[in-house]
Amino acid sequence: MKTKSYGAIDIGSNAVRLLIKKVSRKESTGEDKFSKILLLRVPLRLGFDVFEKGEISPVKEERMRRLMKAYRHLMKIYEVESFRACATSAMRDAKNGKAIIKKIRKTTGINIEIIDGQEEAQMIYNNHVECREDQNGNYMYVDVGGGSTEVNLLIDGQLVYSKSFNIGTVRILTGGVTEAAWQQMRDEIGRVTKGQNEINIIGSGGNINKLYRLIEKKDKKRKRIPITSLQNIYDKLKVLTPEARMEAFNLKPDRADVIVPASEIFLCIAEVIHASYIYVPEIGLSDGIIDNLYAADKAKELAESK
């Protein structure tokens, strides 16, 4: 495998992303290098339909079909040889999710897989150990999405706990998260981290990356946010309307509303585990999808060489 292009489609509750990466092998060293070729994000906001009405509306179904068709053409243009399309929380909960997937497969050739929260959590973490500052430290990997939050706990560099909670930014905005759900997350995270020292957070998702850019007091060298800085920006954002946030912080409409509940989720988890920092590597589910595809190819290549 000298050069190969991979594609990943991440159908989330707030946005649908297409990531294309190329892997090139250096003949001199035999090492593989990843290059990001394309990243597109379209805010379909499927969760606002699903978490309020239980299903995806005909209008958004048609937009989704058109988007998958466009993504299919783009992958052909960039000569993507291997890809996977994964749908998460909104499509998991949508009554008409499977029917829509069947139509899209027939009209676009894209087979969308609805993955459960456990697989999503593990895939997000997959192959991202190089993003950690301390390979043997204690970290809680937290990915905040529109419909759910995925957490992975690493103790001394080992993955010991993986869980998906139905607490997400869009779900919160649509009134779909009860205090009991919050308490369940606090209790479970508190239980699995009890007795562990110095656990910090590795954050992923569009919101934490945007918060990192907004926050002035941060550690740029290590790319991390002090929890106190996150609390300060949250306090400023919370009192503003989404329109005022757009004006004051130059936010897009589909970011201005979800950024506050995202902050609340990160701050809640940080309080439970007594975290001091959130590290912000730019990684997410789409990266995990491509990592899995690449790992499968490497395993096949190794088997064929024997």
pLDDT tens-digit series, residues 165-175:
999 999 999 99
**Structural domain range at position 75:** 3-115+291-305
Task: Determine, yes or no, domain membership for 69.
Answer: yes
Task: Determine, yes or no, domain membership for 147.
Answer: yes
How many whole angstroms separate alpha carbon 91 and alpha carbon 301? Answer: 34
Task: Determine, yes or no, domain membership for 123.
Answer: no
298 within 8 A of 31, measured Cβ to Cβ? no
pLDDT for residue 18: 98
Question: Do 108 and 160 lie in a common domain?
Answer: no
Q: Where are the beta strands (DSSP E) in the chain?
A: 3-11, 16-25, 32-42, 82-87, 112-114, 138-144, 149-155, 158-165, 199-204, 224-226, 277-279
Task: Show the low-confidence residues of the chain (pLDDT under 70).
Answer: 1, 126-136
223 within 8 A of 200, measured Cβ to Cβ? no
205 within 8 A of 143, measured Cβ to Cβ? yes
**Three-state DSSP state, 156:** coil
150 within 8 A of 120, measured Cβ to Cβ? yes
Question: Do 19 and 134 lie in a common domain?
Answer: no
Question: Do 75 and 178 lie in a common domain?
Answer: no
Question: Do 86 and 154 lie in a common domain?
Answer: no
How many whole angstroms separate alpha carbon 296 and alpha carbon 303? Answer: 11
* pTM of the complete model: 0.87
Question: Do 133 and 72 lie in a common domain?
Answer: no
**Total domain count for the chain?**
2
pLDDT for residue 118: 77
